[in-house]
Amino acid sequence: MTIVRALVYLITTVFFVYGVMRLRQPATARSGNSLAAVGMFLALIVTLVGVSIHHPLILIIGILVGGVVGASSARLVPMTAMPQMVALFNGMGGGAAALVACGDVLRLVPSARTGPAGLAIALIDILIGAVSFSGSIIAFAKLNEWMTGRPITYRGQRTVNGVVFGLLIVGGVYLVVSGAAGQAGIFVAYALGAVALGVLGVVPIGGGDMPVIISLLNSFTGLSVAATGFLLGNDVLIVAGTFVGASGAILTQLMSRAMNRPLGNIVFGAFGKLQTGAGEAREGTVQQTSPEDVAILLSYANRVVIVPGYGLAVARAQQEVKELMTKLEAKGVDVMFGIHPVAGRMPGHMNVLLAEVDVPYQKLYDMEAINSEFPRTDVVLVVGANDVTNPDARNNPNSPIYGMPILNVDQAQRVIVLKRSMNPGFAGIDNPLYVHPKCQMLFGDARQSLGLLLQALSEVVA
Amino acid sequence: MLSSNLILELYIFALAAFLGYQLISKVPSVLHTPLMSATNAIHGIILVGAISLATVAHGVLGTVIALAALILATMNVVGGFVVTDRILEMFSKQHTKVSDTR
C-alpha cells in the first residue's frame, strides 16, 4: 500500500506542475486549475484508503465542515471580494500546517524526524505557519473593511516587533536545547507568540500593499507545508509546499517590482500612513463639475480613455462602465480602457471585473500601451482610481510613491475624476492631479455618478 | 542523523524550489492573481498531513488539534480551487469572445 500511495503522490505532483504550466497562458489557465484539483483529489483518496482510522467521525466532521464552509464562502462572495478570500484561505492553510506541526511536537503523530533536528523543523514550521495564519486574517479584515485599511502605527512599533521576534528565536532555541517535553508552558507561549507576530507584522501595512503581502504569506504557507513534509517524511508535502513557496516568492518580487518598491519598503515602510506635515499644502483649487457637463464633453470627444480603479470595484459599477462604453461608441467615440498593473487590490483585478460584463479584451490596454495614447486623447475618465494617476510619482522626489510607474492621464486634453470625496486614496497621499487646471471632479459613489452620467447622455445629448 | 532518506528529500526540496521559481518567472501580469490563487489551493495539500494526524490522534487535545487542522486544511483546498475557478471563468469567457469576433 505504501508503494501505491507513493506512486499516486508522484502522479499528484505531476498534475500540480503540469497544472501550473497550463496556468501560465490565459487560454489554458482554467483547465490547469482543474488538473491541479484532480491531482489533489487523487492524493486525498489514496491517503484515506487502507488506513485504520481511530475516530472516523472526526475525519468526516472536519472534512465536511471545512468543505461546506470553504465551498459556500468561495461561491457566494461577490467577485470584488476575491482578493480577501484568497488571503483567508491562505491563512487557513498556514494554520493547518502549524497545527500538524504542533501535533508532531506533542507526539500525536508518528514522526519521521525525531530528536533536536525534528523539533527545530517543527518549531520553524509553527512559526511560519502561525504568522501566515494570523497575518492573512489581518489582511482579510483590512481588505474586507472589517478594520481600517490604513497602516496602524505607534511609537516603538519596530522595536516591539523586533523584541517579539527575538523572544521567539530565543524561546525556540531553548526548547530545542532542553527538549520540549516538560516545557509545555514555554511551548504554548511560543505558539501564541508566533500568532501574535503575524498580527503585529501585518497591522502596520496599508491596504494598498496587501496583494504583495498576501503573495508573501502564500509563499510562507508553502514553506510551512514543506516543513511539515520533512516532519512526516511525506514527499508530496515537500514538493508541493516548496513549489508554492518558491513560486510565491517570485510572484511577490514581480508584484513589488510592478509598484517600483523594494519588498523591504513594503513590509517595514508603513506605507500609506497619512502625511501629517502641512508643508506641502495644495496649490490651486478643485474644480467640480456636473454629470450633464461631463456627458456633453464625452459625446463630442474623439477618443475617451477610461481608467478604472478600486473605487469601481467597491461601487460595483462595472455594468455602468460597460453601458457608458456602448453609448459612447454608438456616438462614434473611440473608447479605450487604461489598466495599471496594480489598479485594484490584485494584479488583473480590473481585467476580471471588466471581463465579467463582457468588455472586449482588445479594449483593455496595459500601462505602456495606453501611456503613449494619452497625448492624443480628448478626455480621460478616472473611475475610482487615485494613486496610479498621481503625477507626484513622476515629478516630486519627496513623494512616497516617487518613481512608481503611473498612468500619465495629465497628458490628455481633459481629465474627469469620479471620486467619492476629496479624501486621499488607500495610500493616504495627496494627489496634485485634482487641482490641475485640466482636471474636474465629479463627486459621489462611482455607480451613482455613472448612472447620472448615462441618464444625462440620453437626455442632454439626444 | 543524515539518513539517505533525508538526503533524497533535500534533493526534492532543491529541485522543487528551482522549478517553482522558473515556472513563474515569465508570466503576464494579468495571470498573477489566478496563479497566486491556484498555488494557494495547491498548498492545501497540507490536508494530507491533517488526515495523517487525524487517523492516529488520541486524547482530547489530539482530537481538538486534528479536527481544527482538518477544517482549516479542507477550507484551504476547496475554497482555493473554487475561487481560482471563478476568477478564471472570467478569462475563458473573454477568450471565447475574442475568438468569436475574429
A387 among known catalytic residues: yes
- In one-letter notation, the amino acid at residue A75 is R
Q: Is residue B1 included in any domain, yes or no? A: no
Helix axes A210-232, A82-105, angle to 10 degrees: 30
Question: In this complex, do A228 and B85 lie within 8 Å of one another by their Cβ atoms?
Answer: no
| Residue A277 belongs to some domain of the structure | no
DSSP conformation class of A414: E
DSSP state of A374: G
Domain-embedded: residue A274: no
Residues A149 and A228 in one domain: yes
For residue A106, the one-letter residue type is: L
The gap between the terminal CA atoms of chain B, to the nearest Å, is 63
The verdict on residue A393 lying in a domain is: yes
Candidates A387, A392, A410, A430; catalytic one: A387
In the listed set A69, A104, A123, which residue is the last one of a domain according to the structure? A69
**Which residues pair with residue A382 across a beta bridge?**
A307, A417
SS3 A123: helix
Q: Which helix (H) or strand (E) is A382 found in, with range?
A: strand A379-383
Residues from chain A that touch B84, judged by Cβ atoms under 8 A, are 33
Pick B46's closest partner by Cβ from A63, A228, A233.
Answer: A228
**Listed residues A49, A69, A89: the one ending a domain:** A69
Q: Is residue A273 part of a domain?
A: no
On the question of pLDDT at B100 being above 60, the answer is: no
Judge if A345 and A427 occupy the same domain. Answer: yes
Same domain, A105 and A251: yes
Residue B35 lies in a domain: yes
- The C-alpha cell at A156 is 516603538
pLDDT of B93: 57
Overall domain count for chain A: 3
pLDDT at position B91 is: 67
A211: closest chain B residue by CA: B33
In sequence order, which ranges of B1-102 are alpha helices (DSSP H)? 4-25, 32-42, 46-56, 59-101
User: What pLDDT sits at residue A171?
Assistant: 93
- Report whether B72 contacts A99 (CB < 8 A): yes
pLDDT at A26: 80
Which of the listed residues A47, A69, A91 is the one where a domain comes to its end?
A69
Q: How far is B100 from chain A (nearest CA, A)?
A: 11
Are residues A11 and A99 both part of a single domain? no
Classify residue B48: in a domain, yes or no.
yes
Total of domains in chain B? 1
Q: Is residue B18 part of a domain?
A: no
Co-location of A315 and A189 in the same domain = no
How many residues can be counted in chain B?
A: 102
> pLDDT tens digits, residue range B42-73?
999 999 999 999 988 888 999 999 999 999 99
Residues of A in contact with B4 (CB under 8 A): none
Please answer yes or no on whether A33 and B81 come within 8 Å at the CB atom: yes
Asked whether residue B64 is assigned to any structural domain, the reply reads yes
For residue A65, which residues of chain B lie inside 8 Å, CB to CB? Answer: 71, 74
Q: What does the H/E/C string look like for A40-66?
A: HHHHHHHHHCCCCCCCHHHHHHHHHHH
Q: What is residue B17's predicted lDDT score, i.e. its pLDDT?
A: 95
Provide the terminal-to-terminal Cα distance of chain A, rounded to the nearest Å.
75
Confidence (pLDDT) at A296? 87
Instruction: For residues A10 and A86, state if they share a domain.
Output: no
Q: pLDDT tens, position by position, for chain A (462 residues)?
A: 789 999 999 999 999 999 999 998 888 889 999 999 999 999 999 999 878 777 788 999 999 999 999 999 999 988 778 888 999 999 999 999 999 999 998 887 777 777 888 899 999 999 999 999 999 999 999 988 888 878 888 888 888 999 999 999 999 999 998 876 667 889 999 999 999 999 999 999 887 788 889 999 999 999 999 999 999 999 999 999 999 999 999 989 888 877 767 788 788 876 655 444 333 444 567 888 888 889 888 988 899 999 998 888 888 888 999 999 999 999 889 999 999 877 877 767 788 788 888 888 889 888 888 999 999 999 999 998 888 888 888 888 777 777 788 899 999 999 999 988 776 665 567 788 888 888 989 888 889 999 999 998 888 765
- B94 confidence band (pLDDT: 50, 70, 90): low
The pLDDT assigned to B43 comes to 96
* ipTM field: 0.90
Distance CA B20, CA B17 (A): 5
Chain A interface disruption, residue of B36, B51, B58, B85, most A CBs within 10 A: B36
What amino acid is encoded at B29 in this protein?
A: S
Which CATH number do you get for residue A369?
3.40.50.1220
Answer whether residue B82 shows pLDDT above 50. yes
Mutate to test the interface with B, among A84, A90, A132 (most CBs of B within 10 A): A90
Residue A236 inside a domain? The answer is yes
Domain check: are A103 and A162 in the same one? yes
* Closest CA of chain B from A261, distance in Å: 16
Classify residue B87: in a domain, yes or no.
yes
Let me know if residue A276 belongs to a domain. no
- Domain range spanning residue A39? 1-69
Looking at the structure, do residues A85 and A62 belong to the same domain, yes or no? no
**What is the residue range of B48's domain?**
27-101
- A138 part of a folded domain: yes
> Does the residue A311 lie in any domain?
yes
List of residues 6+ apart from A291 with CB closer than 8 A: A442, A449, A452, A453, A455, A456
| Separation CA A299–CA A381 (nearest Å) | 13
